[in-house]
Amino acid sequence: MSTTNMDLLRFATAGSVDDGKSTLIGRLLLDSKSIFEDQLEAVEATSVGKGYDYTDLALLTDGLRSEREQGITIDVAYRYFATPNRKFIIADTPGHVQYTRNMVTGASTADLGLVLVDARQGLTEQSRRHAVILSLLRVPHLVLAVNKMDLVGYSQEIYEKIHAEFTQFATKLNIPDLEVIPISALNGDNVVNRSENMDWYSGPTLMHHLEHVHVASDRDLIDARFPVQYVVRPKSDEFHDYRGYAGQVAGGVLKPGDEVVVLPSGMTSKISRIDLFDQEISEAFPPMSVTVHLEDDVDVSRGDMIARVKNAPEPRQDVDAMICWMTTTPLKPRQKLAIKHTTRTGRALVKDIQYRLDVNTLHRDQDTKELGVNEIGRVQLRTTVPLLSDAYAKNRATGSFILIDEATGVTVGAGMING
Amino acid sequence: MARMSQTHVDYRLSQLDQLEAESIHIFREVAAEFEKPVLMFSGGKDSIVMMRLAEKAFYPAKIPFPVLQVDTGYDFPEVLATRDNWVNRLGVRLIVASVEEAIKNGIVVDDGKTSRNRLQIGTLLNAIEENGFTAAFGGGRRDEEKARAKERVYSHRDEFGQWDPKNQRPELWNLYNGRLHEGEHMRIFPISNWTELDIWDYIGREGIEIPSIYYSHQRRVFERDGMLLSESEHNPCREGEVVEERTVRFRTVGDLTLTGCVESTASTIEEIIAEVAIARVTERGATRGDDRFSEAAMEDRKKEGYF
């Protein structure tokens, strides 16, 4: 097995221990042979030490000592497994109410979100909240895994009821692709192998879906966006005149010969060459890290954006965004923060908090004066530097930003720009 | 090498190319935002992959920061040779922080019970402080160990070099926050999302030099705590331990008194990849005495300021 030509799927899981999330992840890792003997032995030994009469697969994912002691997951953990054609990166996020920020973090890079519900409980406030967050973060694919089907007699009726209820709820969200899969993580039904207990279900198994869900077309290949990260100037004899603009393509396809504009200056030029290490390449597209050369000697530095002349983002200093607040001191109007957007850093002033979104009911509380920890709301900002941005719904890379407390240096908010 | 020059009809990047692009982005971000970065370079396979990625990130310019090696005094000579080849080829400045020197200067205390691996912590922190480094690249991977699975790419260290796992900054999209206060530094893990297999595939694809001891060779070894350790003046045999010659290779390279080898005939990258793909024990579990002391061994060392 070689990973060289494999595809990549990043997915975020949401759900609590009670939904069987750890058991499901444990099973995915076990059945794809990604758990090693010594890891399993360590978990078995701990389970015995705690007096359990079963191997607690949750221990595989609870990494920190305090988590093991308290039996909870406190932070995003990343797991890796692979099948012959695809590598998977799981952002495993805790499901408790106080950890919305971790779920937002895990979802920010995910292609797919996996929400677990207990078939006996049906949809809960928590599962709705997870779906709302995944939708806000524009995770393009969602899987609702209806777990513990073994405990409801593999009942089609129960599955259909949860399916219908969730589909109805999802119409209020932005979920382009939804799959509802009945499983038993404990027994393995429809996880990797097709269940013999649910003849009535004709959809894919969870693993089959993860392996085949089409993610390549989720990226924006139309609107060329290249945030300049670093200017490469060797100043050596051999590369005396070399001046390249290094960065990671955030959208569209860049080609030599393209007429481009550099923002915010508005200077225009043409791409003369694109380098990937010591190779000249004919095209660059997301998420490639390349070095772009321009024909003209224009002034370009970190924080600038290269885009197509007729298709460039509008520089804006008045920013309307959904913000997830991540620290205990609330976000209030008039507050000043540092902001990082693509490779651009500046300061932002909170002009107004328009509403707080109740992620359980989708109710918009317009009377709110502040955003507390783990709350999400619509906020107006004024920035010191223009952001060269797109709507988050159009491009997750150019539509997102983080807010940093200037005194503590801590990341306190995650923002998604409205169109 | 010419793999990218063709037109991508479907605009798909293989997972290895995606990992490479992500890592290069991290290197450039750090070089742009930090005043004094350094790359922690042991000469092991993970740090070699880091060097390759740094080379690519800034090419044709030289890597814009020095590399730091913490020399335990018990390093494999083959590893030091590879380290020197890399440093010379890329023309980067090498800083060696020696554990022996640190002991001599009273920076760390060798009580005869503490391993050289653990003494590296004080030596490393001292080197970071003395040189005023604000960011130190490390080759840690999240698939290695449970505590690492929860660590950020930008991992904040306080003025004592400590990691506070319960108080990590959220890390979203590819927007990294490098803010520091005086005396603090950031550990940067650009290959966080790589697995052991990815590392080998990349070394194979790039055709880059790694220490010869990763390949199968004859070695005089003895068994201790279920590990095969090298015969060495630094590591005298205890009663009942028998030295014999076996065909082995190393899966990780570290302090030779603690790093075990495995019996293997894999003498090419392809054979190593085949072996790794079917391995049933993690590389650390198989060969690293330092991770075996307790279930939370890595977490404890990381909190103190380990790599």
User: Which domains, from first to last, does chain B contain?
Assistant: 11-198+297-304 (3.40.50.620), 210-291 (no CATH)
CB pairs under 8 A between A and B: 214
Per-residue model confidence (pLDDT) at position A55? 66
- Contact between A313 and A388 (Cβ < 8 Å): yes
B4 closest CB neighbour out of A248, A279, A302: A279
Q: Where do runs of H (alpha helix) occur along A2-87?
A: 21-31, 37-49, 58-61, 65-70
| Chain B residues within an 8 Å CB radius of A404 | 177, 179
Distance between start and end Cα atoms, chain A: 44
Boundaries of every domain in chain A: 7-218, 225-308, 314-417
Number of Cα atoms under 13 Å in the Cβ half of residue A92: 30
| Chain B residue with the nearest C-alpha to that of A407 | B181
Q: What is the mean pLDDT of residues B63-91?
A: 94
Domain A225-308 -> CATH class: mainly beta
CATH topology of domain A7-218: Rossmann fold (3.40.50)
Domain A314-417: CATH superfamily, name plus number: Translation factors (2.40.30.10)
**Any chain B CB within 8 A of the CB of A289?**
yes
Tokens of B169: 């900054």
Say whether A402 and B198 touch across the interface (CB within 8 A).
no
Model confidence at B5: pLDDT above 50: no
Dist CA B206 CA A182 (whole Å): 43
Say whether A411 and B61 touch across the interface (CB within 8 A).
no
Give me the tens of pLDDT residue by residue for chain A, a chain 419 residues long: 466 788 999 999 987 666 778 788 888 887 777 766 677 777 777 777 777 766 666 666 665 666 656 555 567 888 898 888 899 999 988 766 557 888 899 999 999 999 999 999 999 888 888 899 999 999 999 999 999 999 999 999 999 999 999 999 999 898 989 999 999 988 889 998 899 999 999 999 999 999 999 987 788 899 999 999 999 999 888 888 899 999 999 999 999 999 999 999 999 999 999 999 999 999 999 999 999 999 998 999 999 999 999 999 989 999 999 999 999 999 999 999 999 999 999 999 999 999 999 988 889 999 998 999 989 999 999 999 999 999 999 999 999 999 999 999 999 999 999 98
Say whether A232 and B60 touch across the interface (CB within 8 A).
yes
- Contact between A417 and A319 (Cβ < 8 Å): yes
Say whether A235 and B61 touch across the interface (CB within 8 A).
yes
Judge residue B223's burial from the number of C-beta atoms within 10 Å of its C-beta, 0-12 exposed, 13-18 middle, 19 or more buried. Answer: middle
Q: What are phi and psi of A30, to 5 degrees?
A: -65, -50
- Residue A100 or B69, more confident: B69
Dist CA A196 CA A383 (whole Å): 58
Q: What is the CA radius of gyration of chain A?
A: 24
CA distance B226 to chain A (A): 13
Model confidence at B266: pLDDT above 70: yes
| Chain A residue with the nearest C-alpha to that of B2 | A279
CA distance A197 to chain B (A): 32
Say whether B25 and A235 touch across the interface (CB within 8 A).
no
| Chain B residue with the nearest C-alpha to that of A221 | B11
Cβ within 8 Å of B, A 157-176 = none
Per-residue model confidence (pLDDT) at position A96? 65
CA distance A268 to chain B (A): 24
B60 closest CB neighbour out of A76, A242, A280: A242
| Chain A residues within an 8 Å CB radius of B276 | none
Q: What's the length of chain A?
A: 419
Per-residue model confidence (pLDDT) at position A320? 98
| Chain B residue with the nearest C-alpha to that of A35 | B280
> Considering only A283-287, B282-286, B289-293, which range has the smallest mean pLDDT?
B289-293
B179 closest CB neighbour out of A87, A238, A409: A409
B11 closest CB neighbour out of A77, A89, A253: A253
Dist CA A9 CA A254 (whole Å): 24
| Chain B residues within an 8 Å CB radius of A62 | 146
Same fold, A7-218 and A314-417: no
Band the pLDDT of B4: cuts 50, 70, 90. very low
Per-residue model confidence (pLDDT) at position A136? 94
B31 closest CB neighbour out of A36, A230, A326: A230
- Mutation site, B10, B150, B294, interface A, largest A CB count within 10 A: B150
Overall pTM surpassing 0.90 (yes/no): yes
**Any chain B CB within 8 A of the CB of A247?**
yes
Sequential DSSP letters for B125-139: HHHHHHHT-SEEE--
For residue range B173-223, list pLDDT tens digits in order.
999 999 999 999 999 999 999 998 899 999 999 999 999 999 999 999 999
Say whether A341 and B175 touch across the interface (CB within 8 A).
yes
Tokens of A344: 């651009």
CA distance A316 to chain B (A): 19
Complex-level ipTM: 0.93
Judge residue A348's burial from the number of C-beta atoms within 10 Å of its C-beta, 0-12 exposed, 13-18 middle, 19 or more buried. Answer: buried
Tokens of A345: 């850093």
- Contact between A26 and A58 (Cβ < 8 Å): yes
CA distance A159 to chain B (A): 34
Per-residue model confidence (pLDDT) at position B2? 38
Q: What is the mean pLDDT of chain B?
A: 87
Per-residue model confidence (pLDDT) at position A85? 84
B276 CB contacts (<8 Å, ≥6 apart)? B196, B197, B200, B251
CA distance B101 to chain A (A): 34
